[in-house]
Structure 1
């Protein structure tokens, strides 16, 4: 079998076959995906050659006015950055391409193709494993060399719909403690890929059953087994209430609503424990804020989750969820909240002027300070929050009733600093 470069992801770059020397081999995920007929919107090509890796990358970048960066000078790895993807050029590890392939993680990633000669190098029968839809390790030692490969196995099996070969699954289970040796940033990146994968729920459950993420996430809970797969059904329930829900638009933390809901599910219900887990993973402050907001919104729901939420409960849920609203809805639905319970809150959320879903205080802090002689400090924020809630649930309407409410609230307050 030969690969037609017109059908390759190569077509998304200006790269030509003549740009590669006859000593170069195409390897890695692009070769694997080409064999599977997987289409990509962006290119991630890997090339291996015995010598001159950095020089080749620099030459290609200069020829096409592309970006160029040396990733690892000692190991001779460089990257060319095109508008729609990257080309990584690396020095061959070992004295042959076969030796290089035997150092890789899984057999499906240990396939090389020499395009000039239309020659395959497949010493570990990775093409057969692809045909059998099987994910098989190259060796136990290779897993031990980079424990991130333990988590990557679940991501690849989900992405490519491969069944993990039993010996590989057993080897991964035996090496679970090694994942804690990996840098948090690498674990988080691999976990993020898995969370975004459409079939990621099954892989997450399988990984959690062997406690693969025990050093990174809170302990696996029994309800995860039902909640994770139920998130797919929750998408359908949400779309029945909001057909144009922007489920493909990332939240401000860069995650899709589904991925954010999945991670929130794995974080559990204890906000302090969840925050510590997010800190271990070295997530951004924005990511922490949104994920904790999703959990807070879930916790705000009343005990009766089968009846429509009243106005106060709608306000509380929307206020707590904030920018994570879509993910919070998905998680609530997956955990058994009836669609009718959230229907009105979802409808309100779509109206940017709705006072319940998108409230704002009827009076400003400056107005409160001037009119009631308040000192600047916490008391002003507390009163603004009370006014916002009162307006959202219909207790006040207009500035005059807001002033009356403020006066009554201040009179009932025990004291405030002077």
Structure 2
């Protein structure tokens, strides 16, 4: 966390926020504009991303301001909430949410926010004042997560889940009172928009401290309408994966364990994400800890369907098998872990009298299987086996 107080704290925060690098000139903002929420929190913790999402509060009509800024700066304006006057400015890869101040003073607005560490604001126009009416700075210093009030959590039930997402991203201890409020009102989470719930979950499972958050999450009824009841990977399961492999595999495995296929559909996950989770779940259930016992055709299907996500499946394997599978998966030339035919469909069409259609599809699948298990390797061997395959099919008719 930023150290010091008063001017020293503001100077350190200004250095980390680097507003001169934003695509939105501060001079274009009306007097009374303040930066609130995550960017202030992360600036104080020195964990800002290169292009942090910015949340601004302005004293007047935020939608009209955002529309004018979008036109002037060649950005895009998206109205998020017309009734509460909240809009989003998308410009140069940055996202800037602009909201009309809730209340007569900025302090009134901050008292209506979710958690105390998110209820800190710094004035942008003019620069130079820090507001912390609820005690957020103290929470940051002590590593606590404390809700501003019980009513604030229920005003937007997504905030119930957001608290656990925050402890997944930041090493925090949630106060017992706040945990009690989340548990008391957990059944209200479905009142939030499903897309917002999924977005929070996807951030939660990617968090550096997600294991702590997931332990809290599974002890609460928050996800009951969509729960899968699976076992998320443990820290020991991740052993053997590189940092890059774990970054892709672990969130997928966590989400698959937490949310059912029907739950993902209800939360309006993309078709691609639903398919990835469904396939991973299917093969987790099928192979147990003995994948080598599968028939060849099933092994090929496994690697075709999970080629990109195989490390997520390897998480559940004992270490000897996991090492072997990861080593083979890292080899882009491994014919089973990256299935392909030594000769493609066009090559077969040119060399053989076979028409496009189901027969060609069966032939390509057969060649891929033979190649995967080392019985053919070269295009010439594939062409020879293709002739044998077509002859056998013709004789069987």
TM-score where L is the length of structure 2? 0.82
DSSP-derived class of the 1:293 partner: helix
2:252 equivalent in structure 1: 260
For structure 1, the residue ranges without an aligned partner over 5 or more in a row are: 240-244, 250-255, 268-273
Question: Residues 371 and 166 from structure 1, CA distance in 2 versus in 1: closer, same or farther, beyond 3 angstroms?
Answer: same
Q: Structure 1 residue 28 and structure 2 residue 19: aligned?
A: no
* Post-superposition offset of 1:301: 3.5
| Residues in 2 aligned to 1:123 and 1:375: alpha-carbon distance in whole angstroms | 71
Question: Residues 204 and 192 from structure 1, CA distance in 2 versus in 1: closer, same or farther, beyond 3 angstroms?
Answer: same
| Residues in 1 aligned to 2:323 and 2:298: alpha-carbon distance in whole angstroms | 12
Q: Structure 1 residue 185 and structure 2 residue 162: aligned?
A: no
Listed one character per residue, the Cα deviations across residues 48-93 of structure 1 (whole Å, up to 9, x for unaligned) are 2322433443454455444434433332223333324233222111
1:209 equivalent in structure 2: 219
Q: 1:400 aligns with which of 376, 384, 388?
A: 384
2:284 equivalent in structure 1: 298
Listed one character per residue, the Cα deviations across residues 195-221 of structure 1 (whole Å, up to 9, x for unaligned) are 121211221121011132111222x34
Question: Residues 88 and 302 from structure 1, CA distance in 2 versus in 1: closer, same or farther, beyond 3 angstroms?
Answer: closer
Question: Residues 113 and 401 from structure 1, CA distance in 2 versus in 1: closer, same or farther, beyond 3 angstroms?
Answer: closer
| Residues in 2 aligned to 1:91 and 1:66: alpha-carbon distance in whole angstroms | 20
| Residues in 2 aligned to 1:188 and 1:283: alpha-carbon distance in whole angstroms | 7
The answer to whether the 8 A contact 1:308-1:341 is kept is no
DSSP-derived class of the 2:284 partner: helix
The answer to whether the 8 A contact 2:33-2:58 is kept is yes
1:54 equivalent in structure 2: 63
Question: Residues 25 and 302 from structure 1, CA distance in 2 versus in 1: closer, same or farther, beyond 3 angstroms?
Answer: closer
1:252 equivalent in structure 2: none
Q: How does 1:209-248 map to 2 (within 5 A)?
A: 209-218=219-228, 220-221=229-230, 223-224=231-232, 227-231=233-237, 233-234=238-239, 237-239=240-242, 246-247=244-245
- How many residue pairs align between the two structures? 382
Listed one character per residue, the Cα deviations across residues 168-192 of structure 1 (whole Å, up to 9, x for unaligned) are 0011011111112222111111111
DSSP-derived class of the 1:118 partner: strand
Question: Residues 114 and 343 from structure 1, CA distance in 2 versus in 1: closer, same or farther, beyond 3 angstroms?
Answer: closer
1:151 equivalent in structure 2: 161
For structure 2, the residue ranges without an aligned partner over 5 or more in a row are: 1-5
2:326 equivalent in structure 1: 346
The answer to whether the 8 A contact 1:293-1:324 is kept is no
Q: Structure 1 residue 164 and structure 2 residue 174: aligned?
A: yes
| Residues in 2 aligned to 1:364 and 1:112: alpha-carbon distance in whole angstroms | 60
Q: 2:98 aligns with which of 89, 93, 105?
A: 89
Listed one character per residue, the Cα deviations across residues 331-390 of structure 1 (whole Å, up to 9, x for unaligned) are x23x2422x32444434434444322233346777969x97999955x764554344323
2:131 equivalent in structure 1: 121
Is the deviation greater in 196-205 or in 7-16?
7-16
RMSD: 3.5
2:270 equivalent in structure 1: 284
DSSP-derived class of the 1:43 partner: coil
The answer to whether the 8 A contact 1:355-1:392 is kept is yes
Q: How does 1:242-391 map to 2 (within 5 A)?
A: 246-247=244-245, 256-267=248-259, 274-301=260-287, 303-304=289-290, 315=300, 317-328=302-313, 332-333=314-315, 335-338=316-319, 340-361=320-341, 377=358, 381-382=361-362, 384-391=364-371
Question: Residues 246 and 45 from structure 1, CA distance in 2 versus in 1: closer, same or farther, beyond 3 angstroms?
Answer: closer
Question: Residues 384 and 117 from structure 1, CA distance in 2 versus in 1: closer, same or farther, beyond 3 angstroms?
Answer: closer
Is the deviation greater in 79-88 or in 197-206?
79-88
Q: 2:21 aligns with which of 7, 12, 17?
A: 12
The answer to whether the 8 A contact 1:27-1:47 is kept is yes
TM-score where L is the length of structure 1? 0.78
